[in-house]
Structure 1
Amino acid sequence: MQWFQKLLQGTPELALFLCLAAGYAIGRVKVWKLSLGGIAGTLIVAILVGMAGKVTLNDQVKNIAFALFIFTLGYLSGPSFFASLNRRSLRYGVFTVIEVVSLLAITAVSVLLLNLDAGTAAGLMGGGATESAVVGTSTDAIARLDLPPDQIQTLQANVGTAYSISYICGLITIVLLTSQIAPAVMRIDLRTEAQRLWAKIGGGAEDPGQATALPDLVGRAHTVTVADGSTVAAVEGSLGPHATVERVVRDGKRVDFAPGTRLRAGDVLVLIGRRDPMIHAEELIGPEVAAHGMDFDLDVEQVLLTTKAAQGLTLGDLKKHVPPDAHGVYLTGVARMDHQLPLRDGTELHTGDVVRLTGAKSDVRTYAGKVGFLLNTSVKADFVFISLGVTLGFLIGKIEVPLGAVPLSLGTGGGCLLSGLLFGWLRAKHPTFGQYDPAAASVIKDLGLATFICAVGLTSGPQAVQLIEKFGVALPIAGVLMTLIPACVSLTVAWKLMKLPAPLALGSVAGQQCSTPAITAVQGIAGNATPLMSYTIVYALSNVVLPLLGPIVVAMSRSLG
């Protein structure tokens, strides 16, 4: 194995991609309903590779990767973060407050009882909170300590090792608690509670799992018999607000029509609408026929909601504001921070949400201009905007404010996070520039974090065994408590004090941990997307606040040690 060891030491870029491949492969392995995910898998593999031989990645590579990750995180969170700072959403901020206060208190107790160093304390806190960004902000803070280089390297290595141990414990704890233990303790059937809430926010018993087999938006063609002599407007009125006449074919030819156009027996109407009103089309218009030669494509567009269009509106409100010249437009999806929200009338909208509109091309474009900005899907990333944002983040991170003899600064992590928040908010306010496609942003974010985590893991390898031998089972136990205590406190507040419905209570707890595996498990048991309604709000707040705890924990543990 010596030749392979020398190969990795001589070409660390090879070690990087081997760790990414093996880490993401391990991260996909499921035990019951749990999987580590690619980031944690990469960290574990990198630590093992680091144990086998000294392999290091260039510091500039590590810093660039982390800057891209943390800026993108801020960019994606920015619109939702600022939109959540209102009276209706800000009440969910109590869960982020509980998370922050609990994490700092438990970390302080752990430092005092176990005599943890700054690196181990920060890694323990980050893993218990299942927030990978803490690894970056804390190692960045450690690098600025007035210590010898070898001590700094040891502390930074301890961050990665403690994080990996605590993360595994925290992940298992939060998934089991939110999806299994909490519903049992609350004595509820989560699926029943979710169905009740689903009906409350929009009515109906639609099962989103049937969306592919039974699409909600359908097209039909009917020959006019019963509706002979009626106007187009009268037919649409009888069908209800969720169905429209898109074409009139007379004697085999398409004819222009207006709301007052009178229909004749034998005309063929091409209808577009929701499934429910279409069921009655035959008795209101005439028999359904095959639409040979009359089929046409509907336009599907993604629209970014702007402040004026989204502020204080629900999805039902948005549906009511369809302009008369775009009556054939249907809302077929709404996403926030790449999470699909319930397509129900009661779903609250935020600035920066993306709605999917379906309908005739001209109608969709007319409606899009009324509610927001039509996204150009051919543009994946505005690199001018992104590069300026990262540059600003680096500059902000270099600002130092003296506090006595200690110079305080945000560092690369805090600086790029703040610039990302600012640029994401600017994009939502002025969507004509700065496009960053969610799919492209997700790739950059994940690759940046995975590369940074790999660099930390490779450095952590040599000290990992020593750290584990020193603290033994104390770190896993502390990791479980770091997750369990704030989650239980928040669950009690949500269920007993705030009287939130169970899906929203559990979604809030998963959101304060920024835990995608937890919300996935909760949503799977709930059977619909109702837990996401609270998860996305709390996630947006915690995703911004938790990374900033890294430097705080480093400073706190130094003062307590």
Structure 2
Amino acid sequence: MIDFLVETPILLLVLVSALGYLLGQIKVKGSSLGVAAVLFVGLAFGALDPRLGLPEFTTLLGLILFVYAVGLSSGPGFFAALRRKGVRDNTFVVGMLAAAALLTAGLGLVVGLPNTVTSGLFTGSLTNTPALAALLERIEAKAPPELVETMLSEPVVGYSITYPVGIAGVILAIVIAQKVWKIDYAEETDGVAGAKTTGEDLESVSILVTNQDIAGATVRDLMQRHDWDVIFGRIRVTGAGQELVEADTVVRPGSVVSVVGTRENIAPVVELLGEPARERLEKRRHEYDFRRIFVSNPDVTGRPIRDLRFLQQVGAIVTRVRRGDVEWLATGDTVLELGDRVRVVARPSDMPLMNERFGDSYKALSEVNLFTLSVGIMAGMLIGLIPIPLPGGLEFKLGLAGGPLIAGLILGNAGRTGPLVWYLPYNANLLLRQLGLVLFFAGVGTKSGYAFFNTLMAGGTGLVIFGVGAVITCVTALTALWIGYRMLKIPMGVLVGMLAGIHTQPAVLSYAVQQSGSDLPNLGYATTFPMATIAKILFAQLLLLLL
């Protein structure tokens, strides 16, 4: 059976993926590993035979697809977060990694490990392949010729033994933090400015205006004065038909207005304006109709809704946007993406035009734009190959993990460049992330499994390296969680993503997203990953030089 799997790596990949998926669905006290379980199934298969390792191409392709898709979806939020608290967050990252490097140096000296093993152990405990690659490059350039081969193998030993525990230890730290602090991710997400990851339970209420004190006030005046988080839809003045509400619409006693929002946000509007009306304006669909339309036309994506001129030309409005399973109020600043569903209010005669302009075609989205996807990934790979000089004659590259992430963030924030739309449909983005993770986890697991378990079973130095790596991983992760949550007051949904970024580990990010039920971890990860990569490359080489 093993020989058969060695000869058919595709079957090995499918088998590891399927069993990993089943394992990931098992919940223990409300928690499950999700797609990260593929990694541990891969380790188990790899432990059976050293030949049971998937080709390196599998791992690299999975990594590229995953980080690029994360970058595309996180771009706008990343740059907004960077402007708000980028300095604080990245200072936090560098401080934690500096502390981890000091801990590594101390433990390495206590147990008597060579500097080559200690520096490799640092890169494995914090799961950073670019840092290991930089180490090997420096050793090859600076080591005496007769010692090059031995010195090159030692960091790899430290890395390979500690890498699996570098993943499991962080996941364990997150589980502990969630239990100890009784984290409610949904409640925390509601408090994050601009977060639209848990959705809003929206409803429409028609209000009979009875308050004489607001006579003559425009909708703009009322919204600014009371800071309401609602949308005014229609208005019917006594003795007249319905009209769509605009910013300059005057609200007068006796009129009926429809308001869209959450029940909590609508309540103060009703209290100020008057009382719930007996009639429901949205039920009178012969004057203005509403329809949920699927966004499949690239021409309307990547632009704020206020710039969609055809809405103004026919007097139509968008009141709600639904992306995946999440729905929120539409504003003029809302930027649509392929795959969104929008709720449009317009005259019945204008509805065919709305369908045409927004697209309303599932079939159109079944074909991903392979040109823009390929161009974006190629740009990311090229960015990853650029050598960046550092003090002391050092240099680093972002590699295939950092380059596509940076490209994805930039292109995702841009949305479009002329006729080129960089966004992927929501479902396609999720599929790329899932597929990328499965390929990455299966490749890493099967490649590392044999050496990992053999070293553990042999005991001796290997067991010492494993123990030291476990301490570094767990102490760093738990300390980062405590400082971030207790001292810096970072919401846990963002913090677990930052922790994944500190460890530059997609498996941890996958688990964090699965636990939080939102995309907030992606923002934390994208904010911290580039700085974490640079800091690890520097600290790993400092450990090599100074110990």
AA aligned to 2:202 is: D
Specify which of 24, 28, 32 is matched with residue 27 of structure 1: 24
AA aligned to 2:470 is: P
Does residue 181 (structure 1) correspond to residue 169 (structure 2)? The answer is no
Specify which of 541, 546, 557 is matched with residue 532 of structure 2: 546
Does residue 477 (structure 1) correspond to residue 466 (structure 2)? The answer is no
Counterparts of 1:98 and 1:406 in 2: how far apart (Å)?
21
1:393, 1:417 within 8 Å by CA — same for their partners in 2? yes
Deviations 1:227-247 (A, max 9, x none): xxxxxx999x99x97554489
CA distance 1:332–1:395, change in 2 (3 Å):
closer
Does residue 299 (structure 1) correspond to residue 299 (structure 2)? The answer is no
Does residue 447 (structure 1) correspond to residue 446 (structure 2)? The answer is no
Aligned-residue offset at 1:5: 0.6
CA distance 1:155–1:343, change in 2 (3 Å):
farther
What SS does structure 1 have at the residue aligned with 2:343?
A: strand
Counterparts of 1:7 and 1:192 in 2: how far apart (Å)?
45
Counterparts of 2:186 and 2:56 in 1: how far apart (Å)?
50
AA aligned to 2:495 is: V
Structure 1 segment 42-441 matched on structure 2, within 5 A: 42-53=38-49, 54-87=51-84, 91-114=88-111, 115=113, 116-126=117-127, 134-135=128-129, 137-138=130-131, 141=134, 146=140, 159=159, 161-177=161-177, 179-182=178-181, 194=187, 215-218=201-204, 242-245=231-234, 273-274=260-261, 276=266, 286=278, 297-300=290-293, 329-331=318-320, 357-360=342-345, 378-379=364-365, 381-400=368-387, 408-427=396-415, 433-441=421-429
CA distance 1:100–1:351, change in 2 (3 Å):
farther
AA aligned to 1:436 is: L
Counterparts of 2:383 and 2:279 in 1: how far apart (Å)?
68
Determine the structure 2 residue equivalent to 1:462.
450
Specify which of 6, 11, 25 is matched with residue 14 of structure 1: 11
Aligned-residue offset at 1:392: 2.8
How many positions carry a matched residue from both structures?
479
Counterparts of 1:156 and 1:447 in 2: how far apart (Å)?
28
Counterparts of 2:282 and 2:325 in 1: how far apart (Å)?
37
Aligned-residue offset at 1:50: 1.4
1:244, 1:271 within 8 Å by CA — same for their partners in 2? yes
Determine the structure 1 residue equivalent to 2:503.
none
- Root mean square deviation of aligned Cα: 5.7
Deviations 1:289-329 (A, max 9, x none): 9969969552356686758989xxxxxxxxxxx98986754
Q: Name the TM-score, length of structure 2 as normaliser.
A: 0.66
Please identify, of 354-363 and 113-122, the stretch whose mean Cα deviation from structure 2 is larger: 354-363
What SS does structure 1 have at the residue aligned with 2:47?
A: helix
Counterparts of 1:96 and 1:329 in 2: how far apart (Å)?
41
Counterparts of 1:154 and 1:12 in 2: how far apart (Å)?
29
AA aligned to 1:413 is: A
Determine the structure 2 residue equivalent to 1:315.
none
Sequence identity percentage:
20
What SS does structure 2 have at the residue aligned with 1:13?
A: helix
Determine the structure 2 residue equivalent to 1:130.
none
2:321, 2:330 within 8 Å by CA — same for their partners in 1? no
Aligned-residue offset at 1:34: 2.8
Aligned-residue offset at 1:518: 5.1
Structure 1 segment 506-545 matched on structure 2, within 5 A: 506-514=492-500, 517=511, 537-545=523-531
1:47, 1:161 within 8 Å by CA — same for their partners in 2? no
Counterparts of 1:459 and 1:420 in 2: how far apart (Å)?
28
Please identify, of 407-416 and 456-465, the stretch whose mean Cα deviation from structure 2 is larger: 407-416
Determine the structure 1 residue equivalent to 2:505.
none
AA aligned to 1:181 is: V
Deviations 1:317-342 (A, max 9, x none): xxxxx989867542456x7xx89698
2:71, 2:408 within 8 Å by CA — same for their partners in 1? yes
2:77, 2:523 within 8 Å by CA — same for their partners in 1? yes
Aligned-residue offset at 1:151: 8.3
Counterparts of 1:37 and 1:557 in 2: how far apart (Å)?
35
1:111, 1:121 within 8 Å by CA — same for their partners in 2? no
2:293, 2:341 within 8 Å by CA — same for their partners in 1? yes
CA distance 1:105–1:507, change in 2 (3 Å):
farther
Counterparts of 2:93 and 2:471 in 1: how far apart (Å)?
23
1:111, 1:557 within 8 Å by CA — same for their partners in 2? no
2:86, 2:527 within 8 Å by CA — same for their partners in 1? no
Counterparts of 1:491 and 1:290 in 2: how far apart (Å)?
45
Please identify, of 324-333 and 111-120, the stretch whose mean Cα deviation from structure 2 is larger: 324-333
AA aligned to 1:546 is: A
Please identify, of 99-108 and 295-304, the stretch whose mean Cα deviation from structure 2 is larger: 295-304
Counterparts of 2:59 and 2:545 in 1: how far apart (Å)?
28
CA distance 1:493–1:342, change in 2 (3 Å):
farther
Counterparts of 1:475 and 1:86 in 2: how far apart (Å)?
35
CA distance 1:536–1:9, change in 2 (3 Å):
closer
What SS does structure 1 have at the residue aligned with 2:40?
A: helix
CA distance 1:450–1:292, change in 2 (3 Å):
same
AA aligned to 1:52 is: L
Aligned-residue offset at 1:455: 1.9
2:100, 2:472 within 8 Å by CA — same for their partners in 1? no
Counterparts of 1:537 and 1:200 in 2: how far apart (Å)?
12
Counterparts of 1:106 and 1:308 in 2: how far apart (Å)?
51
CA distance 1:449–1:342, change in 2 (3 Å):
same
1:43, 1:457 within 8 Å by CA — same for their partners in 2? yes
Aligned-residue offset at 1:18: 0.9
Please identify, of 112-121 and 438-447, the stretch whose mean Cα deviation from structure 2 is larger: 112-121
Aligned-residue offset at 1:483: 0.6
2:320, 2:342 within 8 Å by CA — same for their partners in 1? yes
Determine the structure 1 residue equivalent to 2:504.
none
Deviations 1:357-391 (A, max 9, x none): 5232579x99xx9xxx9998743632212212222
1:491, 1:506 within 8 Å by CA — same for their partners in 2? yes
Determine the structure 2 residue equivalent to 1:486.
480
CA distance 1:246–1:165, change in 2 (3 Å):
same
What SS does structure 1 have at the residue aligned with 2:423?
A: coil
